[in-house]
Structure formats: structure tokens, C-alpha cells
Amino acid sequence: MSKLVAPHGGKGLVCCLLHGNDLEAEIEKAAGLKKVQISPRAKGDLIMMGIGGFSPLDGFMTKADWKGVCENYTMADGTFWPVPITLDVSAADAADINEGDEIALEHEGTVFATMKVSEKAEMTDVDKKWECEKVFKGKGEESADDVFWKIAMEDHPGVQMVMAQKEYNLAGPVKVLSEGEYPEEYKGIYLTPAEVRTMFEERGWSDVAALQLRNPMHRSHEFLAKIAIEVCDGVLIHSLIGNLKPGDIPADVRVKAIECLVDNYFVKDNVIQAGYPLDMRYAGPREGLLHATFRQNYGVSKMIIGRDHAGVGDFYGLFDAQDIFDEIPTSDDPGKSLLCQPLKIDWTFYCHKCDGMASLRTCNHGKDDRVILSGTKLRKALSEGAEVVDHFGRDEVLVILREYYAGLTEKVEVKMQSHAGGDTMK
């Protein structure tokens, strides 16, 4: 009997990826089906359904699921889920598709899945705006009622993605045929929930924390991971290896930088590095909940949630992503509740007077004594060729990152949040 937290949904790992003869037969069938082109986001969602990362989902959500998730954090059957997992198609494609049809879902020439359509629902601009207001609005200055829509279409990538979705959503169960480039391109890093769970069990871990990364690890990330190692059996350093927004650092560079840091500054027996194939949704606190939800499927019982987790600009309050865990519904059925709990850690930084890493809970010194750390601030400095202040990152890691930026021919301006610069620190 496993001592790890159970997969979300109470059904074990729900894996939609086919193998062997079943896979060959479905690939052959898919060749004769109507092909629908899907977004990179949907590709990542399919792969997560394939490997069990999105358990208990076995397909894309119905409009009832979509409405319940946006409004109440629960699907139609009462199971907790924090962000919609939907498949958008054009009106032209939708006109040729009826409920009960089977279709093939294709991205850049690869058929990733087949799907039996259970529902076709129109998504108007009013629907999309409602989703954005429910999912992407936070408690920060840029989410105020009189500001949000004035700037969201230009400054919030999550809102931009939803508003750019096509006119219809299709729902229904899927059979996943491919994991794309991830098994080869990220061999040893791209790991399925079943593989990660096996690694945890082989090490005798039962209480495991996850560190979410979309940036290279700076000293604050390192400190968060080491706090978790002190109070848990081990830490999963889990990086997003799907698509990011322009200006973010590619996954292969981040993986190399993390490996360097782990090799030089961690006890390796207490850390596992892995990657997962999703695109960022940039949903702030809701994305923090999503991170915890699918990490539960990987066997993780605690999700590290620090300052401005998955933040975008100043749309979210400093600790909205911590507070939201106290606001979500629970069920009498533990299978329908989120079991992965937050490991809430205060704003962390390097303090010259403390002569080490500290947080607002442990350091009584002033802002002038502190090195404010953030991934955004690091990317901005590196992209502009500016000096990276002492104690911001490990020298070995900065060598890797500077080499990457030196090779860029086009650079994207990095917008600073007030949190990232330390403007809001007391």
C-alpha cells in the first residue's frame, strides 16, 4: 500500500495514452477521421490527460463543467478543479461536427489524440469575458474593476489567450496517441506521474513538496526548496517545459541551470528534478491551485507557495495565491477535494545584516539591507546586459544564463512588477 497522497479525483491515475496494439489500431482509425487543428495549450493538456497528470479528467470539459469550474471551482459532478480545460474550434470546423462524431486532434502535422464529441457549445465574447473575470482577476491594482479591461488585453497573456479562442468548445473523452517531442527532447527530465511516484516510493518518501518553476532557480528558489527539505521527506523541483510567453527563458536552458545548482548546492538524495509538458495559463492564484492539483497526481502532498506565485504584472496581490487555498470548497468525499496542501512561505531575500537568506518572518532589518530576488528581475537584468547584484544567483548558474542571453539576436522587453522590484516591501 502506497504511503503517498492519492491521485486527485478518487479514481487512481486516469491515463488516456494508448500503447501497443490499441495504439496502432487507433492511429490507423485516426487517418480516416476529420482532422481538427489544436493549439499548443490543448496539445499540452492532451499529453497531461495521456499520462495521468490531469486525473481524473479523461477528456475536455463540458459547458456545465466549464461554468462550475469558473464559478465554484468544481466540475459538474462536484470534483474540485481550478481552471477550465477546454478545446476550442472554429465555427467552420464546428459546422461539420456533430455530437457523437469521432475526430482526430492534430498539431503541426502530428495527430495527438482522437476524441468522441459529447457536446458542441458556442462560446461568445461575453462567455470569454466572464471566464476571464472569474479566472484571471485577482486583488492587485491592475485587477480593479475600473482598470482590468483597460489593460488586460495588452498586458495579461492569460486573458489574451482566452479572448483569442475560437467560437466553439468541444467536449468529450479522448484517446491520446502521442507524447510529442518530450520523451526524447527531455529524456530523464520529462517524467510521468507513475514514474515520479515510483521514484518517491523507492526513496521511502511519503510527504513530498513540489517547487514550481518557470524561471531558472535564483537564491530565493533555492532557499524555498531547502526549507521544504527540512520539513518534508524530499522535494520535486518541477519545471514547466511547455510554451511560455516571449522573453521567458527556454526550458532546455532552465533545466541545465537547475542541474548545475543541484549538483553544487543540494544533497542529491533529497531532490528530484523533473519537467511537465503544459503551457503556462498565467492565471495567478488559480494557477497555483492547478499546480497543486496536478502535483497531487505526481504523489506530491505539499505545494510550495511563496510570494506572487504564477503572478502577472500587478494583477494579483502579493499572497493571493496563498490565501486562495483557504477559500476553495471541500467535499465530504476526499476524492473530490484537493488533498495537496500549500506550504506557505513569506517573502524571501538575501539580507546583508543577517548574512544569509531570510524572510519577512525571520528578518527585522530594512529594505536597504536586502537583496530583493525575483525571476522577472533576473531576466530583466540579464536581457539588458546589466550587472546582477551579489547574492542574487549562484555564479555557476549565472554563467549559463549569460551565455544564453549573449547568443540572442532579438530581445524582448521585460516588464517589472512592483513586487519583483521590492516596491511593495515594507
Cβ atoms of 5 and 89 closer than 8 Å: no
SS3 320: helix
41, 197, 214, 281: which is the annotated catalytic residue?
Answer: 214
Q: Is residue 197 annotated as a catalytic residue, yes or no?
A: no
CA distance 346 to 116: 46
Looking at the chain, the whole-number percentage of residues with pLDDT higher than 70 is 96
Shared domain check, 154 and 206:
no
* 215 labelled catalytic: yes
Residue 426 to residues 189, 299, 360, 366, Cα–Cα distance (Å): 39, 37, 9, 8
Same-domain check for residues 151 and 228? no
Please tell me which residue in 41, 169, 197, 215 is annotated as part of the active site. 215
Q: CA quadruple 155, 47, 338, 126: dihedral positive or negative?
A: positive
Alpha-carbon span 221 to 102, nearest angstrom: 45
167 and 192, same domain (yes or no): no
Q: Identify the CA nearest to 78 among candidates 295, 291, 331.
A: 331
DSSP state of 250: P
Residue at which a domain ends, from 124, 147, 180 = 180
pTM score, whole prediction: 0.93
Using DSSP, how many helices (H) and how many strands (E) does the chain show?
16, 15
- Distance in angstroms (rounded) separating the CA atoms of residues 52 and 179: 12
CA angle 333, 196, 379 (to 5 degrees): 105
**Last residue of one domain, picked from the residues 180, 209, 243:** 180
Please identify which residue in the block is written with the cell numbers 501497443.
20
pLDDT in tens, 321-353: 999 999 999 999 999 999 999 999 999 999 999
Please list the ranges in the chain whose pLDDT falls under 50: none
- Examine residue 335 and state whether it is found in any structural domain, yes or no: no
pLDDT at 414: 58
| Collapsed DSSP state (helix, strand, coil) of residue 21 | helix
Q: Are residues 59 and 134 in the same domain?
A: yes
Predicted pLDDT of residue 335:
96
H or E stretch at 401: helix 395-406
Q: How much is the pLDDT for 417? A: 56
Task: For residues 69 and 78, give the distance between their C-alpha atoms in angstroms, rounded to a whole number.
Answer: 10
Domain termination residue (choose one: 152, 180, 208): 180
State the DSSP H helix or E strand holding residue 273, giving kind and residue range, or none if neither. strand 271-276
Same domain? For 276 and 148 the reply is no
Nearest Cα to Cα of residue 163 among 120, 130, 211, 196: 130
Cell numbers that stand for 344 in this block: 506557505
Which pLDDT does position 152 carry in this prediction?
Answer: 97
**pLDDT at position 386:** 83
Domain of 405 in residue numbering reads as 188-280+346-421
